[in-house]
């Protein structure tokens, strides 16, 4: 899943003096499964769309296509969208969508004095965002060969703003926790990767260093450690929706089938946070689903670390141990793939076999 994680890689301490990690073992077995869910990530090969255009007599600010980084970039792209709205001078704003991107946009717009109405087909806990894994990590967002200089600047700004802004939510109220994370791999970690030592985001991977074999029990030759934020989507989205309503925001349950229907709402400015729905609503054929599947095991409160191993990942949330590892482009099916589930369980059992 991840080849590298920052510009500065601190040298490991002397193996003779470094204590070995003693991490609680994740108990992986079929009889511990409590549910398996499917999520369709809204992916655009050129990256998320953050742009303003005229929609009849309205200003429409697009903010969608975040791939697997919707939670991660939500506050960053919301800040870019709110700046477009600020320049319009209009007071009343409609936000389309009540997932993590729409709620972040709604809250930042409220904070600059806008009167915001969210129009949505579904509310938490039924949004796509509720099915996300929840790790703060800019991942699975765009194809590098499609990146433009304009998008690159939006990407940098969004990552840095969102990383800083998210930190205020750390704690039980919003379900955000800092946690040690371990990238494990058999091959040497590639230092030229987007998130490697020459990448643009060294500040978002604190306490990063490579571990010596004597320091860990993972069944891999190479282990990289850093601290990351893990977000519990159900807790977090419920709290954001509460904050939005307490600040005077209005929520209207309404589904839009075409832009003509959007033209009938009273607000002169619309922020489009419809995710994958923007493909049909705004004829964006660049937008495709990436099917992701998560299997949840019984919670283990003692497990307080994250593992990233190639395409596999383990997040210890309070609603269950989250095991993932599927990224299927163009698959619209919401049915779990049983073969993929078996593969993921077996692969994770191997990862934690030595702990």
pLDDT of 202 strictly over 90: no
In this predicted structure, what is the pLDDT of residue 355? 87
Q: Is residue 273 in some structural domain?
A: yes
- Return the pLDDT at 7: 44
Instruction: Give the position of tokens 């194809």.
Output: 143
d(Cα 125, Cα 24) in Å, to the nearest integer? 30
Render pLDDT for 159-186 as a digit per residue (tens, 0 to 9).
Answer: 999 999 999 999 999 999 999 999 999 9
Give pLDDT, residue 5. Answer: 42
Is residue 124, in this structure, part of any structural domain at all? yes
pLDDT of 3: 41
Q: Is the model's pLDDT at 190 over the cut of 90?
A: no
Residue 213 in domain? yes
Confidence of residue 136 (pLDDT cuts 50, 70, 90): very high
Domain that holds residue 312: 30-351
Q: Which residues contact 159 (CB under 8 A, 6 or more apart)?
A: 72, 73, 76, 138, 200, 201, 204
Q: How does residue 207 score in pLDDT terms, banded at 50, 70 and 90?
A: very high
User: Is there a contact between 108 and 74 (Cβ–Cβ < 8 Å)?
Assistant: no
Taking CB atoms within 8 Å and a gap of at least 24, the contacts of 59-62 are 59/84, 59/85, 59/88, 59/90, 59/268, 59/269, 59/270, 60/262, 60/269, 60/270, 60/271, 60/272, 61/85, 61/269, 61/270, 61/271, 61/272, 62/272, 62/278, 62/282
pLDDT of residue 21: 85
In a domain, 24, yes or no: no
Phi and psi at residue 207, to the nearest 5°: 55, 40
Q: Is a pLDDT exceeding 60 seen at residue 192?
A: no
Q: Residue range 214-237: average pLDDT?
A: 95
If one counts the domains in the chain, the total is 1
> d(Cα 162, Cα 50) in Å, to the nearest integer?
15
52 contact partners, CB below 8 Å, separation of at least 6: 59, 60, 61, 62, 84
CATH number assigned to the domain comprising residue 112 = 3.30.9.10
Q: Is 218 within a domain?
A: yes
User: Does 189 reside within a domain?
Assistant: yes
Asked whether residue 17 carries a pLDDT value surpassing 70, the answer given is: no
Residue 194, pLDDT > 90, answer: no
What is the phi/psi pair of residue 153, to 5°?
-70, -40
Q: Is the pLDDT of residue 2 over 50?
A: no
pLDDT, residue 62, reads 98
Per-residue pLDDT of 312-353, as tens digits, reads: 999 999 999 999 999 999 999 999 999 999 999 999 999 999
**Do the domain assignments include residue 161?**
yes
Domain for residue 9, yes or no? no
Lowest mean pLDDT among 28-32, 83-87, 145-149, 185-189: 185-189
For all residues of the chain together, what is the average pLDDT?
Answer: 92
- pLDDT band at residue 14 under the 50/70/90 scheme: low
Band of pLDDT at residue 198, cut at 50, 70 and 90: low
% of the chain with per-residue pLDDT over 70: 92
């Amino acid at each position: 899943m991840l080849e590298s994680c920052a510009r500065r890689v601190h040298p490991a301490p002397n193996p003779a003096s470094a204590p070995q990690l003693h991490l609680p073992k994740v108990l992986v077995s079929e009889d511990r499964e409590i549910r398996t869910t499917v999520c369709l990530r809204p992916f655009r090969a050129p990256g998320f769309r953050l742009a303003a255009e005229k929609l009849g007599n309205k200003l429409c600010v697009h903010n969608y296509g975040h791939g697997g980084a919707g939670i991660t970039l939500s506050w960053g792209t919301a800040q870019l969208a709110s700046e477009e709205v600020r320049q319009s001078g209009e007071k009343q704003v409609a936000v389309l969508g009540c997932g993590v991107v729409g709620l972040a946009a709604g809250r930042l717009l409220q904070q600059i004095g806008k009167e915001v109405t969210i129009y949505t087909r579904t509310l938490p806990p039924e949004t796509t965002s509720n099915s996300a894994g929840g790790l703060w990590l800019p991942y699975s967002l765009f194809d590098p060969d499609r990146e433009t200089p304009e998008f690159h600047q939006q990407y940098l700004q969004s990552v840095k703003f969102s990383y800083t802004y998210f930190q205020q939510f750390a704690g039980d109220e919003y379900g955000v926790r800092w946690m040690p994370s371990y990238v494990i791999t058999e091959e040497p970690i590639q230092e030229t990767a987007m998130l490697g030592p020459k990448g643009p985001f060294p500040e978002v991977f604190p306490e990063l260093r490579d571990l010596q074999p004597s320091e860990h029990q993972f069944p891999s030759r190479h282990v990289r450690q850093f601290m990351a934020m893990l977000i519990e989507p159900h807790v977090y989205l419920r709290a954001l929706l509460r904050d939005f309503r307490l600040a005077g925001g209005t929520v209207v349950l309404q589904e839009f089938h075409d832009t003509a229907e959007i033209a009938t709402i009273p607000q002169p400015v619309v922020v489009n946070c419809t995710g994958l729905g923007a493909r049909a609503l705004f004829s964006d054929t660049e937008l495709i689903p990436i099917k992701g599947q998560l299997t949840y095991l019984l919670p283990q409160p003692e497990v307080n670390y994250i593992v990233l191993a190639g395409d596999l990942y383990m997040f210890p949330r309070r609603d269950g141990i989250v095991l993932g590892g599927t990224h299927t482009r163009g698959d619209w099916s919401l049915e779990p793939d049983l073969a993929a589930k078996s593969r993921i369980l077996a692969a994770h059992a191997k990862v934690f076999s030595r702990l």
